[in-house]
Amino acid sequence: MATITFKGNPVQTIGTLPSKGSKVPDFKLTGADLGDIGLGKFEGKVKILNIVPSLDTGVCAASARAFNKAAASLGNIAILTISRDLPFAQKRFCEAEGIDKVITLSELRDREFGKAYGVEMISGPLAGLLSRAVVVLDASNRVVYTEQVPEIAQEPNYQAALDAAKKAL
């Protein structure tokens, strides 16, 4: 369990992020087309998992925009923004914001991702949503970088995540 804060107030997550060097479990998330998507879809690619509570907040939206901008020059790196938002809302957000390089994924049907990756918040006003975190995986799905953002209202360290992803290429 990790302790983070939301506007300075303590919030607990269900666990901790996967440790560096560990191979992560596969997941089944829902894409914009309502199809199930797992890690296999991104086989052979480095992956940045940009995990957010909801794209309907300023900080989450900012992180999706920042990673989308960076994605243009990343080559064989897939950036996945994962939340519990409905795929319809994610798609509408991306269209409105011009986000076309980040892939949004939802926990619509399968809520195991948040538990398996230790990011489901279990206390506080956002309990049930995912915490703000970044996990970078190499092409074989081993963790090369993690950041559990300590304050939900803060943006992640984009440069550290991008540097780790580039190094894993």
**Percentage of the chain exceeding pLDDT 90:** 97
What pLDDT, on a 0 to 100 scale, did the predictor assign at position 110?
A: 94
Count other Cβ atoms within 10 Å, centred on residue 3: 11
Contacts of residue 104, defined as CB under 8 A and 6 or more positions apart, other chains included, come to 31, 32, 55, 64, 80, 81, 82, 83, 85, 87, 90, 91, 93, 94
Reduce the DSSP state of residue 59 to 3 states and report it. helix
Question: Which residues are part of the catalytic machinery?
Answer: 60
Does residue 158 carry a pLDDT above 90? yes
**Mean pLDDT score of the chain:** 96
pLDDT of residue 21: 97
pLDDT-based confidence at residue 30 (cuts at 50, 70, 90): very high
CA 126 to chain centroid: 16
Residue 65: CB atoms within 10 A of its CB come to 14
Q: What angle do CA 129, 63, 10 make, to 5 degrees?
A: 40
* Nearest Cα to Cα of residue 26 among 46, 42, 50: 42
In the block, residue with structure tokens 């086989």: 43
6 DSSP β-pair partners: 9
Q: Which domains does the chain carry? A: 3-168 (3.40.30.10)
- pLDDT given for residue 75 in this prediction: 85
Looking at residues 153-165, what average pLDDT do you find?
A: 97
For residue 148, pLDDT beyond 90? yes
DSSP secondary structure code for residue 83 in this structure = E
Q: pLDDT tens-digit profile of 63-98?
A: 999 999 999 888 899 999 999 999 999 999 999 999
Sheet strand arrangement including 133-137: 36-37, 29-30, 103-106, 77-83, 46-51, 133-137, 143-148
DSSP letter for 18, please. Answer: P
Predicted local confidence at residue 135, as pLDDT = 98
Chain segment 106-131, per-residue pLDDT in tens: 999 999 999 999 999 999 999 999 99
What are the residues whose beta carbons fall under 8 Å from the beta carbon of 151, sequence distance 6 or more? 4, 5, 6, 8
